[in-house]
Amino acid sequence: MAVYTHLGAEELARLIAEYDVGQLVSAKGIAEGVSNSNWLVETTQGRFILTMYERRIDTGDLPFFLGLLDHLAERDCPVPATIHDRSGGIYRLIDGKAVALIEFLPGVSPNAPTPAQARAVGAALAEVHLAAREFPLDRTDGLAPRNTLAILERCSSALASIDADLPRALEKGREVVAAWPDDLPRSVIHSDLFPDNVLMLGEQVTGMIDFYFACNGSMAYDLAVTHAAWCFDKRGERFDPAIGQALVEGYCDVRPLGDAERAALPLLAQGACLRFVASRAEDWLDTPADALVTRKDPMDFVRRWDFYVENGARVFA
Amino acid sequence: MAVYTHLGAEELARLIAEYDVGQLVSAKGIAEGVSNSNWLVETTQGRFILTMYERRIDTGDLPFFLGLLDHLAERDCPVPATIHDRSGGIYRLIDGKAVALIEFLPGVSPNAPTPAQARAVGAALAEVHLAAREFPLDRTDGLAPRNTLAILERCSSALASIDADLPRALEKGREVVAAWPDDLPRSVIHSDLFPDNVLMLGEQVTGMIDFYFACNGSMAYDLAVTHAAWCFDKRGERFDPAIGQALVEGYCDVRPLGDAERAALPLLAQGACLRFVASRAEDWLDTPADALVTRKDPMDFVRRWDFYVENGARVFA
């Protein structure tokens, strides 16, 4: 959450002039996105989000990410469309860094979602899955369970330094990977649909954002990721069954789950936990304890994982 | 430049409901302000800046700061008015922290100002000085030269660790304080009018913001601070005479300087440099070298100071 690069007013005005969006009126750096700089830009014609891709994102992936936004927005999913420049380009370069101009969508991210909101999010996720099936580009899931297990294996000797109870995630992870189903129905999936990445007005989803983990993958796995992200308190100590039920029901209202998908959900949810345990453990070990960035505790997802092991069959019945 | 506190959507909506500004539509944390958290808030009735006062700002000063905005906005200065809550309050408390809702103003901060922009800024500063003379509240200048010299004295043993050339600022500072004029015409002054704190559209000043150093003080000193802030490159190596001339001329078009003020400008500009050398040196020593915050080099203002010692009489003639 930061603005990593300073963009001067004159530079911004020159950039905006490359798009058919009117004159620059205002630009505020916004504290969103973990690896990009973002500005909320106002012109004489409207408001836009300007994103500068800083780290972690490969420019070669931008046609996938930005093309996906266009594909979904054209199919009436609540996703911001990419604004193309005067020559049709979806991104431009400033000092060697890629920047894209993206539609601004209203709404705020729910902090304490209600079941009605979770139902709407489930339905919106299913709509994205259906609409994305015909998206022509591909992107491999770099954070599939076998990959996230490999991340965790690399951290293994240091895991106990984070929490004495963390090393057992390795054995649990190996079991998840061994049992992982590879034949569930696939589409392009969001893979990171935390409440932060959803904008809502009341009970309506007005925006799904931050598709920078999107990839080809199992649709039911994406639902499981969303379940793990929405149905617990921050520390993963309390599961909210009403939220969980509404999320899955909302999803199934739009795209009913097949029997194999439903049966797999308890395991898929554990795979989701493995992924966030691994990425958080890696970030924790990479971040000095006294850095200004708050480190996210991997144990928050070890607790969710334990919950799914014990209650998954019942919760997803 | 950060958002220090997370405000949930529900908390924001409850806060906004305390004001007669319509329903919450969007809220983005923005990367502005060095010691406050700020959000760009949109409601069904307009856009606003929500500021949460985190550090450094004494709640007891808020009636001065926020009342000053109202006073100046009523007098057509390009300053954001404070939005009062339904019971007339200028700030509210959330979890013990003060928050204020402030008018949103269009415009962007110039990164490479032109002489025409500097002229407009000089004129706007003079308008603020004239309008603020009848503002009824008082606030002492905690960063007057004798106070900033005291800051520098406290850092003295460590100054050489920042730069071998920095300790000589102490002797120079003592000379400035000894010669400081206390009888120049006074008003409420902004005291920190860097380009970052000015919003412009083309050559028009649309907003002067961040009045959190405002205090009673010498108007000519405020012009000198603005001169030091606008007329050099970042490192203080190159002075731009056209910017400096336009700034002072724009000021004098609205409020002609008296003879004593004009004669004092070279010394006042050195006092401005003393102040930023001291505050930057203090911040530098307080900030770990590996912190994510970029430390500002006090030497940038030692170089400006040297320039004013050598050229001040000519520049301000």
Mean pLDDT of chain A: 94
Query: B44 at the A interface (CB within 8 A)?
Result: no
Upper half-sphere CA count for residue A67 (Cβ side, 13 Å): 15
Segment A212-232, tens digit of pLDDT: 999 999 999 999 999 999 999
Q: Crossing angle, helix B115-132 and helix B219-230, to 10 degrees? A: 160
Q: Please state which of the ranges A59-63, B75-79, B187-191, B240-244 shows the lowest mean pLDDT.
A: A59-63
Tokens of A206: 């007005």
* Chain centre to alpha carbon of residue A82: 18
Q: What is the pLDDT of residues B77-89, one digit of tens each?
A: 999 999 999 999 9
**What is the structure's pLDDT at A1?**
39
Which residue among B3, B11, B108 sits closest to A31, beta carbon to beta carbon?
B3
- CA angle B116-B119-B121, nearest 5°? 110
Instruction: Assess whether pLDDT exceeds 60 at residue A161.
Output: yes
Angstroms from A31 CA to nearest CA on chain B? 5
- pLDDT of res. B3: 57
Give the single-character DSSP code of A255. Answer: S
- For the segment A117-127, the average pLDDT, to the nearest whole number, is 98
CA distance B18 to B146: 43
Q: Is A102 on the interface with B (CB under 8 A)?
A: no
d(CA A67, CA A70): 5
Size of interface A-B (CB pairs under 8 A): 93
Please judge whether A108 and B31 are an interchain contact, meaning their C-beta atoms are less than 8 angstroms apart.
Answer: no
The answer to ipTM > 0.85 is no
Give the per-residue pLDDT at A32.
Answer: 74
* Residue to test with chain B: of A28, A49, A114, most B Cβ within 10 A: A28
Question: What does residue A116 show for φ and ψ, rounded to 5 degrees?
Answer: -65, -35
A70-120 pLDDT, tens digit each: 999 999 999 999 999 999 999 999 988 999 999 999 999 999 999 999 999
Contact between residue B162 and residue B284 where contact means Cβ atoms under 8 Å apart: yes
pLDDT band at B1 (very low <50, low <70, confident <90, very high): very low
Burial of A134 (0-12, 13-18, 19+ CB in 10 A): exposed
Average the pLDDT over each of A2-16, A47-61, B248-262 and give the range with the smallest value.
Answer: A2-16
Q: Rounded CA gap, A186 and A197, in Å?
A: 22
Q: With an 8 Å Cβ cutoff, is B80 touching chain A?
A: no
- Residue in chain A lying closest to B104 (CA): A26
What would the 3-class secondary structure string for chain B be? CCCCCCCCHHHHHHHHCCCCCCCEEEEEEECCCCCEEEEEEEECCEEEEEEEECCCCCHHHHHHHHHHHHHHHHCCCCCCCEECCCCCCCCEEECCEEEEEEECCCEECCCCCCHHHHHHHHHHHHHHHHHHCCCCCCCCCCCCHHHHHHHHHHCHHHHHHHCCCCCHHHHHHHHHHHHCCCCCCEEEECCCCCHHHEEEECCEEEEECCCCCCEEEEHHHHHHHHHHHHCECCCCCCECHHHHHHHHHHHHHHCCCCHHHHHHHHHHHHHHHHHHHHHHHHHHHHCCCCCCCCCCCCHHHHHHHHHHHHHHHHHCC
- The verdict on a CB contact (< 8 Å) between A9 and B201 is no
In this structure, of B23-32, B117-126, B217-226, B252-261, the range with the lowest mean pLDDT score is B23-32
Who among A30, A292, A293 is closest to B31 (CB)? A30
- Name the residue facing B106 among A1, A26, A293 (closest C-beta): A26
pLDDT value of residue B58:
85
User: Which residue in A40, A109, A288 is closest to B290 by CB distance?
Assistant: A288
The mean of the pLDDT values for chain B is 94
Domain with CATH 3.90.1200.10 in chain A: 115-315
Local confidence band at A287 (pLDDT 50, 70, 90 cut-offs): confident
Residue B112 sits at the chain A interface (C-beta within 8 Å):
yes
Q: In the predicted model, is pLDDT for residue A157 greater than 70?
A: yes
At CA B69, angle to CA B64 and CA B72, rounded to 5? 115
- Looking at CA atoms only, how far is residue A24 from chain B in angstroms? 8
Pairing of the two strands B24-30 and B82-83: unpaired
> Which one of 3.30.56.10, 2.60.40.10, 3.40.30.10, 3.90.1200.10 gives the CATH number of domain B115-315?
3.90.1200.10
pLDDT in tens, B101-158: 999 999 999 999 999 999 999 999 999 999 999 999 999 988 889 999 999 999 999 9
- Write out the DSSP string of A29-71: EES--SSEEEEEEEETTEEEEEEEE-SS--GGGHHHHHHHHHH
pLDDT at residue B189 in the model: 98
- pLDDT per residue over B25-67, tens digit each? 999 998 876 678 899 999 999 999 999 998 677 889 999 999 9
Q: Which residue of B has its CA nearest to A289?
A: B291
The answer to whether A31 faces chain B, any CB pair under 8 Å, is yes
Domain boundaries B9-103, corresponding CATH code: 3.30.200.20
Tokens in use for B171? 């002797």
In this predicted structure, the answer to whether residue B307 has a pLDDT above a threshold of 50 is yes
**How many angstroms separate the CA atoms of B268 and A281, rounded?**
54
How far apart are alpha carbons B30 and B33 in whole angstroms?
A: 9
d(CA A24, CA B106): 10
Closest partner residue to B112 (CB to CB) among A8, A288, A291 is: A8
The reply to whether B224 touches chain A by the CB within 8 Å rule is no
Closest residue of chain B to A207, computed from CA coordinates: B26
Residue A295 confidence (pLDDT) = 82
Tell me which residue in A9, A111, A290 faces B288 most closely, judged by beta carbons.
Answer: A290
Asked if B293 is an interface residue toward chain A (Cβ–Cβ < 8 A), one would say yes
* Position B219 pLDDT exceeds 90: yes
Whether the CB of B291 is below 8 Å from some CB of chain A: the reply is yes
* The two structure tokens encoding residue B233: 């490159």
Does residue A9 sit at the B interface (CB-CB below 8 Å)? Answer: yes
pLDDT at B2 over 90: no
CATH 3.30.200.20 segments of chain B: 9-103
DSSP-derived 3-state class of residue A107: strand
What is the structure's pLDDT at A149? 96
The pLDDT confidence band at residue A270, using thresholds 50, 70 and 90, is very high
pLDDT at A69 over 80: yes
CB spacing of A292 vs B290 below 8 angstroms: no
Does any CB of chain B come closer than 8 Å to the CB of residue A189?
no
